[in-house]
Structure 1
Amino acid sequence: MPAVWALAAAFGYPLVEVIRFSFYSGAVGDLTYVGTANYEGLWQDPVFVSSLLNNLKLLATVPIMTVLALIIALILNAQVRGWQHYRAIVFLPYILPATAIGLTFSFLLEQRGVLNTQLVQWHLGFLAADWLGSAANVVPTIGGVIIWQQLGFGIVVFAAALLAVPQELVEAAKIDGATGWQIQWSILLPQIRRVIEFFMIVEAITVLSAIFTYVYVLTKGGPAESSSVMEYYIFENGFANGAIGVASAAVVVLLCLASVLIFVYLRMRARSAEVTS
């Protein structure tokens, strides 16, 4: 019970307050009840709609990083020479501060940054682009940074799961004449399917609700709000503009989206348990 009360105080009360604020307008201490006007206003606000769409676009990074992490984890699982060192190296970006990553990539990817300068020197100037200043490029660029930073987490998780697969299954498959590809596709991957599902759901939630730092440091939502995401929209309205009701309504929408993902994961786990039993 003490733990339950502590969780309720830390999470339950703030959540109830956010939901309550979403039905009011004005600053804290001077609120006016407006019903569902904040929610209706969200869908009429092009910046909010654009922010939501950007989050949905960035969800495309989840399958990409999952496939890349699986490929690298399978290579490491073959225990190539120095595989333990490689695993530590690929995990390094995940533990770096997001602010430091954002600042580093802002120097690399600005129009006259390191990347474009090197491309010109290598006579590949036709590949140079305004990675952060172009509305067409900025969201894919942020997606690339997210993949780079989150990839190590997936590699370590999948590598640990692969090490836990019973070696008897692999040995039996080899005796039956299975090739290396068949062992990976038919033995190893099915054995870590739940881990893959868990990783994809966690990363989807991360993309929805934990990428504010990248957007703020790299672009501050620009150019012309084209890289704004839900978190940045909440920050702008709740802190910069003082529209606590609008920000709270956006928080509730974001919470609902994350809850859908959690529900999907729990349903997948329940179905897996039913099949196993």
Structure 2
Amino acid sequence: MPGVIVVLVLLLIPIGEAIYYSMTNWNGISSTWIGPSTYVRLFENPIFWRVAENNGLLLLSVPVAIVIPLMIAAMLHEHVWGWRFFRSVIFLPTAISWVVIGMVAVRIFSPTGPINSLLGLIGLRYLQTDFLGHQSTALLAVSLTFIWSMVGTNTIIFLTGMSTLDPSIFEAARLDGATRVGMFRMITVPLLKRYFQFSFVITIVTAFTALFSLIFIMTGGGPGYGTTTIEFFVYQQAFDIGQFGTGAMLGVVLFVGLFVVSMVQMRLMRSDD
């Protein structure tokens, strides 16, 4: 019963209030009931779909944020020269706050930053630009920063999985003439199925719910709505404009999306090997 009360007070009641206020015109003090038509108007709003498109484009970076750490983990697992040092360096981003990462990224992608300087040194001055000042490149800069920030976490996940694999399986494969590439493709990757599932869900949840600080520091959601995600849109509607009802509605939409992802995760984790 104490556990039920805690869940009720801290989770279910706030979620229920968010659903209620999502169907009202709420300014943070008083609310006027409107009804489910608020969701109809939201889905008819082109800005919402522009923001949702940004989330969809960010999802394209998820496979990259998984494959790169997988390759790094495979090399570290083979104990290449200096693997202890590189393991520490690669894991370092996980110990840095999103704010610090964002501040560093702003300088890297600035017109006078190292990327533009490098382009000038190799004779590609025509590619120099203010990466964070154009919609066509700002989201790409955020995606690259997100991928870099996830490398440490996902590398540790895959290293943990590789450490649980039975060495006798690989020894038997070597005796049968299998190459390292063949063993990685036919043995390591299939046996890491559950770790892929976990990494996939963690990366998606991070892309949907943990990039507020990064976007706030790097672009402020701009230029225009070029880097505004649903998570950041909640903040803009509720605290910039004062439309707390719309903010609550966007929060409900985000909650439903993440709930679906969590259910898929649970289903996958229950699946047989």
Paired with 1:119 and 1:173, the residues of 2 have a C-alpha distance of: 45
Which residues of 2 match residues 104-119 of structure 1 at below 5 A?
104-119=104-119
**3-state SS of 1:92 partner:** helix
**3-state SS of 1:248 partner:** helix
2:19 and 2:252 in contact (8 A); partners too = yes
Partner of 1:29: 29
**3-state SS of 1:183 partner:** helix
* TM-superposition CA deviations, 1:110-169 (whole Å, max 9, x none): 223332134224433123222111111111111000001111110111011101111121
Say which is worse superposed, 98-107 or 43-52, in terms of deviation. 43-52
Partner of 1:186: 186
Partner of 1:195: 195
Query: Is 1:266 matched with 2:263?
Result: no
**3-state SS of 1:25 partner:** strand
Paired with 2:114 and 2:180, the residues of 1 have a C-alpha distance of: 41
Which residues of 2 match residues 1-277 of structure 1 at below 5 A?
1-270=1-270, 272-273=271-272, 276=273
Paired with 1:181 and 1:120, the residues of 2 have a C-alpha distance of: 38
- Match for 1:238: what amino acid? A
Paired with 1:178 and 1:116, the residues of 2 have a C-alpha distance of: 44
1:47 and 1:228 in contact (8 A); partners too = no
TM-score, with structure 2 as normaliser: 0.95
**3-state SS of 1:201 partner:** helix
C-alpha RMSD over aligned residues: 1.5
Structure 1 gaps of 5+ residues are none
Paired with 1:10 and 1:4, the residues of 2 have a C-alpha distance of: 10
- Match for 1:208: what amino acid? F
Paired with 1:3 and 1:86, the residues of 2 have a C-alpha distance of: 43
Paired with 2:179 and 2:5, the residues of 1 have a C-alpha distance of: 55
Paired with 1:40 and 1:111, the residues of 2 have a C-alpha distance of: 42
**3-state SS of 2:135 partner:** coil
Say which is worse superposed, 67-76 or 127-136, in terms of deviation. 127-136
Paired with 1:167 and 1:44, the residues of 2 have a C-alpha distance of: 56
Report sequence identity in percent.
27
Change (3 A) 1:82 1:113: closer
- Match for 1:96: what amino acid? I
TM-score, with structure 1 as normaliser: 0.93
- Match for 2:179: what amino acid? T
Paired with 1:192 and 1:174, the residues of 2 have a C-alpha distance of: 19
Once the two structures are TM-superposed, the CA of residue 54 in structure 1 deviates from its matched residue by 0.2
- Match for 1:112: what amino acid? T
Paired with 2:170 and 2:113, the residues of 1 have a C-alpha distance of: 48
- Match for 2:224: what amino acid? A
- Match for 2:9: what amino acid? A
* TM-superposition CA deviations, 1:67-99 (whole Å, max 9, x none): 111111111111112212211110111221100
Say which is worse superposed, 131-140 or 257-266, in terms of deviation. 257-266
- Match for 1:234: what amino acid? V
Once the two structures are TM-superposed, the CA of residue 180 in structure 1 deviates from its matched residue by 1.0
- Match for 2:237: what amino acid? N
Paired with 1:205 and 1:22, the residues of 2 have a C-alpha distance of: 22
